[in-house]
């Protein structure tokens, strides 16, 4: 649209940060539960993890070779092969039966405990094992340093070490460390259950036949996918009609969730039933947030079966709903899950076209960030209408035009908040 009116600054408008702070203040970490290690990826550890064992639990060989005494091989070389008596063969998983004295060696496999006395392992390739026919003698062709090719007891973790602190998010490496100290269960914060509901008489569900005047409900699918991506569990009621009966019935099914996310019906100008139902059943606020898209936002707690449940009411436009959920819902899910606050990475990019900001709000403009001749550029998507959901999939970041700034000029260096799809960030950085 070519012409827009500037709104006056509204004193009752909250900044994105103020709104987020108010929202986050009602959320806490959820209860602790115990999960199987194999299901633990993505959870946050709720108790410091102290190891009861050394890792490795005993000195063990890092190579297939011969456990020897340093003294014996001090002068060994290709030209001065030192011969030792082989007194034992130690397979991985077995304890050595004999300790090593001067002139002796034990054949030892990778991972096998090192026998007493030995203070280094000489790999097969540095012995005459291949040439020799005797199994009782081995020729050593190199000298070694103290504890060469030995993984020392406790090298990785010592008994009593606080290995992982609470608040750590479980990654594959954390899973591995927990396994290495024998954990098959781990205490974590429960993942939040999120109830998802779009509202509007015009909505029908994907898979149904399109009727006149109707439109497919995309918000429930989008918000459910985002919730899944952020580590929440979703309980979707798809959509409700704009009637008190239907809306209350659908909300009632959310009695055991930790957060309800609705979309549509929260604009100041609306006279529809969503606000009435939310107000009637709880303690709701209907905010104007100083951002575009997604100015109208509802937040409060509603009472379902005597339980107070926080509710975020997103705008109805699909782009507004996604961006508002990213700015508020994501943080609430992370806080309940015990995660640290994570902002999106910001990349500096050169703008390829002017971005106009018509009404003084902070503008999040969808842009495609790419690399051209080793320069990082941000190209605004043609249609910035908040109804155009394809723009979210064609863009990879949000250019930030600060509140009160009328224009970001072509060739200006601007801040772009990347959605966080790794491949795009990689391509740009590499």
Q: Which of residues 148-167 bind a second copy (CB under 8 A)?
A: 148, 151, 155-157, 163-164
> Does residue 383 belong to the site contacting a second copy (CB under 8 A)?
yes
The neighbour count for residue 286, using CB atoms within 10 Å, is 17
Question: Least distance from C-beta 184 to a second copy, angstroms?
Answer: 3
- DSSP per-residue string spanning 47-67: S-EE-SS-BSSS-EESSSEEE
**Interaction residues for a second copy, span 62-121 (CB under 8 A):** 62-65, 91-95, 109-113
Identify the residue among 15, 99, 132, 221 touching a second copy (CB under 8 A).
221
Among 134, 162, 206, 412, binds a second copy (CB under 8 A): 206
**Options 204-212, 280-288, 303-311, 355-363: segment touching a second copy (CB under 8 A):** 204-212
- State how far the Cα of 265 lies from the Cα of 270, in Å rounded to an integer: 6
- Binding of a second copy by 222 (CB under 8 A): yes
Residue 266 contacts residue 295 (beta carbons within 8 Å): no
Residues 280-309 that bind a second copy (CB under 8 A): none
Q: Using CB under 8 A, which of 15, 20, 32, 58 touches a second copy?
A: 58
Q: Given the DSSP bridges, would you call strands 13-14 and 282-289 parallel, antiparallel or unpaired?
A: parallel
Measured CA to CA, the distance from residue 421 to residue 344 in angstroms comes to 10
Q: How far apart are CA 353 and CA 383, in angstroms?
A: 13
Closer of 115 and 300 to a second copy (Cβ) = 115
Strand, coil or helix: 254: coil
Q: Fill in the per-residue mask, 401 to 420: x = in contact with a second copy (CB under 8 A), - = not in contact.
A: -------------------x
Q: Which of 115, 192, 232, 318 binds a second copy (CB under 8 A)?
A: 318
Tokens of residue 133, six digits: 């026919």
- Return the SS3 of 370: strand
User: What is the phi-psi region of residue 11: left when phi exceeds 0, alpha when psi lies from -120 to 50, beta otherwise?
Assistant: alpha
Q: How far is the CB of 380 from a second copy (least distance, A)?
A: 17
CB 110 within 8 A of CB 92: yes
Q: Which of 85, 165, 201, 405 binds a second copy (CB under 8 A)?
A: 201
**Residue 425 binds a second copy (CB under 8 A):** yes
In the region spanning residues 6 to 35, those forming contacts with a second copy, defined by CB under 8 A, are none
- State which residue, 22 or 58, has the beta carbon closest to a second copy: 58
Closest Cα partner for 59 from 20, 86, 26, 99?
99
Report the Cα 400 to chain-centroid distance in Å: 24
Nearer CB in complex with a second copy: 224/257: 224
Q: Is 178 in the site for a second copy (CB under 8 A)?
A: yes
Give the three-state DSSP class for 237.
strand
> What part of residues 240-279 is at the interface with a second copy (CB under 8 A)?
242, 264, 267-272
Closest to a second copy by CB, 25 vs 130, is 130
Nearest to 310 by CA among 285, 290, 280: 285
325, 228 contact by CB (below 8 A) = no
Q: Which is nearer to a second copy, 77 or 412 (CB)?
A: 77
Q: How far is the CB of 412 from a second copy (least distance, A)?
A: 19
Residue 287: phi and psi, rounded to 5, are: -105, 155
């Amino acid at each position: 649209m070519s012409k827009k009116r500037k709104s006056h600054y509204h004193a009752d408008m909250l900044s994105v940060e103020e709104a987020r702070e108010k929202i986050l203040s009602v959320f806490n970490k959820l209860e602790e539960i115990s999960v199987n290690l194999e299901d633990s990826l993505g959870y946050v550890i709720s108790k410091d993890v102290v190891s009861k064992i050394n890792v490795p639990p005993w000195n063990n060989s890092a190579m297939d070779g011969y456990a020897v005494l340093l003294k014996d091989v001090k002068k060994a070389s290709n030209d001065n092969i030192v011969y030792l008596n082989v007194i034992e063969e130690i397979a991985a998983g077995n304890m050595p039966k004999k300790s090593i004295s001067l002139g002796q060696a034990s054949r030892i496999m990778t991972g096998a405990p090192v026998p007493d006395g030995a203070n280094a392992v000489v790999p097969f390739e540095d012995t005459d094992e291949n040439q020799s026919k005797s199994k009782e003698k081995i020729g050593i062709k190199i000298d070694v340093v103290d504890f060469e090719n030995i993984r020392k007891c406790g090298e990785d973790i010592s008994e009593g070490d606080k290995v992982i602190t609470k608040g750590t998010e479980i990654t594959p490496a954390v899973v591995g460390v927990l396994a290495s100290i024998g954990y098959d269960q781990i205490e974590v914060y429960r993942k939040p259950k999120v109830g998802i509901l779009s509202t509007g008489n015009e909505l029908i569900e994907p898979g149904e036949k399109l009727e006149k005047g109707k439109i497919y409900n995309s918000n429930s699918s989008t918000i459910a996918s985002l919730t899944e991506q952020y580590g929440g569990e979703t309980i979707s009621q798809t959509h409700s009609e704009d009637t008190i009966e239907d809306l209350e019935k659908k909300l009632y099914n959310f009695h055991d969730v930790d957060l309800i996310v609705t979309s549509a019906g929260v604009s100041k100008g609306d006279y529809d039933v969503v606000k009435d139902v939310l107000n009637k059943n709880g303690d709701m606020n209907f905010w104007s947030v100083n951002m575009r898209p997604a100015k109208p936002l509802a937040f409060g707690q509603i009472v379902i079966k005597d339980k107070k449940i926080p509710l975020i009411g997103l705008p109805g436009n699909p782009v507004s709903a996604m961006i508002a959920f990213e700015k508020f819902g994501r943080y609430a899910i992370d806080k309940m899950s015990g995660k640290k606050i994570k902002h999106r990475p910001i990349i500096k990019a050169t703008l390829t076209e002017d971005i106009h900001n018509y009404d003084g709000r902070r503008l999040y403009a969808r842009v495609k960030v790419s690399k051209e001749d080793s320069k990082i550029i941000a190209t605004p998507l043609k249609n910035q209408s908040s109804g155009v959901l394809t723009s979210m999939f064609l863009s990879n970041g949000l250019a930030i035009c600060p509140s009160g700034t009328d224009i970001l000029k072509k060739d200006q260096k601007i801040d772009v908040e990347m959605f966080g799809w790794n491949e795009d960030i990689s391509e740009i950085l590499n």
